[in-house]
């Protein structure tokens, strides 16, 4: 046995557990009280701390992270953010993209992220520059984190001639998923049809940026659900944002939620960006501008959350910790109970694994040993405190540790 993590608190188990790992896989999960003699090359006593499967970041943009110092103005709308970023990205070099992407990836690993899906921009401005960098990083970081690469036409497909050809080339180079952004093209339906055409041609899953507005008329998600069902791609399609559904009248929103569930779409809410950019046009009854997460869950959809952006025009905050986003969603989508805490952690672990089709995931026999240990007495405590990630393992190998020290001086009784 290579490693035993003893006395760990694991979601869905009542007692403390021992997790045994060999050759990168979990080989047993047993109650700690049943085992007297532990035998392994390394034994780590979790001391009742919380052990989770590696966290999953399902939606992030690496090449446009950490851009605040490059920006001459702040964005006041989604269209501002797209314009400001498009202007800056014409000056991106492969070295600069690589440097900023590595910064995100390192922080992700330190935060306990074992799988990350990035949307990589492919268009006439960047050409295949970002794609080439991400393929290189996918390989060079594979011992630390599993990367999924979405071929993403941020500037539209048909409004930017040459993008369709670049997307095909990116998929041939090794792109894992076909991306789409119907709200930023000349015709929503034409865009969606083309993305599905590519998905079928290259046999890839699909991940859209969809309905990012407060306008209840923006419901491309219905077309996405219809195409998913028609082509038999249930379980293979995800959509990020889907914020306009939050402005749709309740009874109609219920019908849309049922269609989303029927197509087995995974909805990825991106609260750090959505809260920042949406609701700005409202002078009274200001909307929160996020997807109606409760409603979607009630009607059986798989809903998860992502970081989306780190410190740029779309989101001038963030440090790439999924637990920060869990906390933000808890506050803004009314998730405050113990059961809600369990669900939020599922959203960044098992539910995200379903959305991203990650196999052999979780804390059970036979799963890949991607694990994170954090000093929390419960799942709820882990969300409230977002504690340091004491140890992070990738395929059974320790890849990160954090030890923060705080000390209070001069504690005198008043």
Under the binding rule (CB under 5 A), the answer on residue 18 touching Zn ion is no
CB of 119 to Zn ion, least distance (A): 5
Phi, psi (degrees; rounded to nearest 5) at 167: -65, -45
By C-beta, is 85 or 302 nearer to Zn ion?
85
CB of 133 to Zn ion, least distance (A): 18
By C-beta, is 52 or 65 nearer to Zn ion?
65
By C-beta, is 18 or 308 nearer to Zn ion?
308
CB of 277 to Zn ion, least distance (A): 11
By C-beta, is 239 or 372 nearer to Zn ion?
239
Crossing angle of helices 250-262/220-230, nearest 10°? 30
By C-beta, is 271 or 362 nearer to Zn ion?
271
- Find tokens 């001459």 and name the residue: 72
CB of 309 to Zn ion, least distance (A): 7
Window 306-365: residues binding Zn ion (CB under 5 A): 308
Q: CA distances (Å), 228 to each of 154, 261, 291, 414, in order?
A: 21, 11, 20, 67
CB of 118 to Zn ion, least distance (A): 10
Phi, psi (degrees; rounded to nearest 5) at 243: -80, -30
By C-beta, is 24 or 316 nearer to Zn ion?
316
CB of 74 to Zn ion, least distance (A): 18
By C-beta, is 236 or 308 nearer to Zn ion?
308
State the alpha helices, DSSP H only, in 306-410: 322-332, 338-347, 350-355, 379-385
Looking at the chain, the number of H-run helices and the number of E-run strands are 13, 16
| 42: three-class secondary structure by DSSP | strand
**Contact present, 243 and 274 (Cβ < 8 Å):** yes
Beta-carbon contacts of residue 286 (< 8 Å; ≥ 6 apart)? 279
CB of 384 to Zn ion, least distance (A): 27
Q: Which residues of 287-319 are buried (b: 16+ CB within 10 A; e: fewer)?
A: ebbbbbbebbbebebbbbbbbbbbbbbbbbbbe
By C-beta, is 63 or 375 nearer to Zn ion?
63
CB of 273 to Zn ion, least distance (A): 7
Q: How many residues form the binding site for Zn ion (CB under 5 A)?
A: 1
Site string for Zn ion, 226-245 (x = CB under 5 A): --------------------
**Contact present, 286 and 279 (Cβ < 8 Å):** yes
Window 276-315: residues binding Zn ion (CB under 5 A): 308
State the residue number with the nearest CB to Zn ion.
Answer: 308
CB of 132 to Zn ion, least distance (A): 20
By C-beta, is 180 or 396 nearer to Zn ion?
180
**Contact present, 377 and 48 (Cβ < 8 Å):** yes
Sheet containing 113-121, strands listed edge to edge, beginning at the edge strand earlier in sequence: 55-60, 113-121, 146-152, 177-180, 206-210, 237-241, 266-269, 302-305
Distance, in Å, from the CA atom of 82 to the CA atom of 138, rounded to the nearest integer, reads: 26
Window 26-45: residues binding Zn ion (CB under 5 A): none
State the alpha helices, DSSP H only, in 174-219: 188-202
List of residues contacting Zn ion (CB under 5 A): 308
């Amino acid at each position: 046995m290579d490693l035993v993590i003893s006395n760990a608190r694991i979601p869905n188990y009542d007692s403390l557990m021992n997790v045994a790992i060999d050759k990168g896989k979990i080989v047993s999960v047993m109650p700690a009280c049943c085992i007297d003699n532990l035998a392994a090359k390394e034994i780590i006593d979790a001391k009742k701390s919380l052990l989770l499967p590696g966290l999953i970041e399902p939606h992030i943009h690496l090449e446009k992270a950490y851009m605040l110092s490059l920006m001459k103005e702040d964005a006041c709308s989604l269209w501002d953010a797209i314009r400001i970023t498009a202007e800056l990205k014409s000056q991106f070099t492969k070295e600069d993209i690589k440097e900023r992407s590595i910064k995100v990836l390192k922080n992700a690993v330190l935060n306990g992220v074992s799988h990350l899906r990035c949307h990589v921009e492919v268009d006439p401005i960047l050409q295949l520059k970002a794609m080439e960098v991400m393929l290189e990083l996918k390989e060079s970081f594979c011992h630390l984190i599993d990367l999924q690469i979405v071929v993403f036409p941020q500037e539209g497909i048909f409004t930017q001639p040459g993008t369709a050809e670049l997307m095909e080339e990116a998929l041939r180079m090794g792109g894992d998923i076909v991306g789409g952004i119907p709200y930023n093209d000349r015709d929503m339906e034409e865009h969606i049809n083309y993305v599905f055409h590519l998905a079928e041609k290259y046999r890839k899953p699909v991940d859209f940026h969809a309905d990012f507005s407060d306008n209840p008329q923006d419901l491309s998600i219905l077309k996405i659900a219809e195409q998913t069902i028609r082509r038999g791609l249930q379980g293979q399609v995800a959509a990020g944002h889907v914020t306009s559904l939050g402005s749709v009248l309740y009874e109609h929103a219920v019908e849309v939620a049922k269609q989303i569930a029927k197509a087995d779409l995974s909805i990825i809410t991106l609260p750090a960006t959505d809260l920042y950019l949406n609701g700005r046009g409202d002078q009274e009854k200001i909307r929160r501008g996020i997807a109606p997460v409760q409603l979607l869950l009630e009607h059986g959809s798989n809903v998860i959350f992502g970081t989306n952006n780190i410190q740029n025009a779309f989101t001038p905050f963030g440090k790439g910790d999924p637990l920060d986003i869990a906390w933000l969603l808890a506050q803004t989508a009314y998730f405050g109970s113990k059961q809600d805490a369990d669900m939020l952690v599922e959203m960044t672990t098992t539910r995200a694994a379903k959305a991203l089709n990650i196999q052999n995931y979780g804390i059970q026999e036979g799963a890949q040993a991607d694990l994170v240990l954090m000093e929390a007495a419960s799942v709820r405590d882990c969300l409230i405190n977002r504690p340091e990630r004491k140890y992070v393992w990738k395929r059974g190998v320790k890849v990160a540790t954090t030890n923060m020290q705080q000390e209070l001086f001069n504690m005198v009784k008043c």
